[in-house]
């Protein structure tokens, strides 16, 4: 695996995390590269125009088919990929809400399930991303020993995919929020694609979250559920919902708010009842749709 640090830019979409010395102790298959110059990554006029068009397209995503059309169309001009896997961190550690996008004959549903259950390649990618100071990483699947036992990696290699670009978003505590994996063929991957992946992932995150919130709202309307007003949730419940949105467990929320995990659990149950949803992920989606939470 190679982790390519990206030259500093003015684009900032997440809280600054103090660099650690973790890179000195990285797994032997990861190497940090400083040979990529900022001049080599400077986009030309056509690439700048393509980047702006992609940013603009992301703002018009409100439905799943909008997201599919964008990522499997215009986005391919910036980051060429055969499969895009989008993962949102769940309430439990290393649990994810997963969605994937690809053109036929690939079966995205198969890869969603494999990604969700993978305990080898996916954790490896996330650790490499964290060790690279939350910068995008390029992984050559064949260079990872554990990949030979990963069903997810095996299926990727079977369809000719030998590389992945991985990048994500994180919260103010440096905890993973969302993670995006671009599965590619090595001839399509270069330093420019990695650079553009870093720039476009914040827009992927917002667009993906937006259409998911719209899906939750339509499901509620189709079931004849009367939307609740934001005032139906107490200020404490809205505060807890905010931390749930950032992937915090009951214990973590309790420590932040200085209340017991049991009290947090009771609040969560009341939140689910008031929003008329079945789990925390649905609660976040509905709260976003009803403007109780904002992205």
pLDDT at 224 (0 to 100): 54
How far is 33 from 21, CA to CA, in rounded Å? 15
pLDDT tens-place string over residues 148-189: 789 999 999 999 999 999 999 988 778 888 999 999 998 888
Looking at the predicted structure, is the pLDDT value of residue 41 above 70?
A: yes
User: Which 3 state secondary structure label does DSSP give 137?
Assistant: strand
- The per-residue DSSP string of 141-205 comes to GGG-GGGGG-HHHHHHHHTT--EEEEEEEE-TTS-EEEEEEEEE-GGG--HHHHHHHHHHHHHHH
Residues 218-227 have pLDDT tens digits of 665 655 555 4
> Is it the case that residue 3 has pLDDT exceeding 70?
no
Q: For residues 70 and 58, is the Cβ–Cβ distance under 8 A? A: yes
Q: Is the dihedral of CA 273, 274, 276, 280 positive or negative?
A: negative
List, in order of start, the domains of the chain with CATH numbers: 2-211 (3.30.450.80), 226-289 (1.10.10.10)
Say what the pTM is. Answer: 0.66
CB 207 within 8 A of CB 61: yes
The pLDDT-based confidence of 232 (bands split at 50, 70, 90) is confident
pLDDT of amino acid 293:
76
pLDDT for 29 beyond 50: no
- Tell the burial category of 294 from Cβ atoms under 10 Å away from its Cβ (0-12, 13-18, 19+): exposed
Q: Summarize the confidence of residues 24-46 as an average pLDDT.
A: 52
Confidence of residue 96 (pLDDT cuts 50, 70, 90): confident
């Amino acid at each position: 695996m190679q982790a390519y640090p990206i030259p500093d830019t003015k684009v900032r979409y997440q809280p600054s995390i103090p660099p650690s010395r973790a890179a000195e102790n990285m797994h032997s298959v990861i190497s940090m590269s400083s040979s990529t110059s900022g001049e080599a990554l400077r986009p030309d006029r056509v690439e700048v125009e393509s980047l702006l068009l992609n940013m603009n397209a992301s703002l018009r995503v409100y439905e799943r088919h909008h997201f599919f059309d964008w990522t499997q169309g215009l986005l391919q001009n910036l980051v060429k990929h055969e499969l895009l896997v989008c993962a949102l961190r769940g309430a439990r550690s290393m649990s994810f809400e997963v969605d994937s996008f690809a053109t036929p004959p690939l079966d995205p549903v198969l890869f969603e399930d494999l990604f969700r259950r993978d305990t080898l390649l996916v954790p490896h990618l996330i650790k490499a991303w964290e060790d690279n100071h939350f910068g995008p990483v390029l992984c050559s699947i064949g260079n990872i020993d554990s990949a030979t036992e990963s069903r997810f990696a095996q299926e990727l290699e079977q369809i000719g995919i030998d590389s992945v670009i991985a990048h994500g978003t994180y919260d103010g505590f440096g905890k993973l929020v969302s993670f995006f994996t671009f599965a590619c063929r090595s001839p399509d991957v270069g330093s420019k694609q990695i650079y553009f992946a870093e720039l476009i992932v914040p827009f992927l995150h917002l667009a993906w979250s937006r259409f998911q919130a719209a899906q939750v709202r339509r499901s509620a309307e189709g079931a004849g559920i009367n939307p609740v007003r934001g005032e139906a949730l107490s200020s404490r419940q809205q505060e807890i919902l905010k931390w749930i949105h950032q992937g915090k467990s009951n214990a973590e929320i309790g420590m932040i708010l200085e209340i017991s995990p049991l009290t947090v659990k009771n609040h969560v149950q009341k939140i689910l009842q008031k929003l008329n949803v079945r789990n925390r992920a649905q609660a976040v989606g509905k709260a976003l749709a009803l403007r109780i939470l904002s992205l």
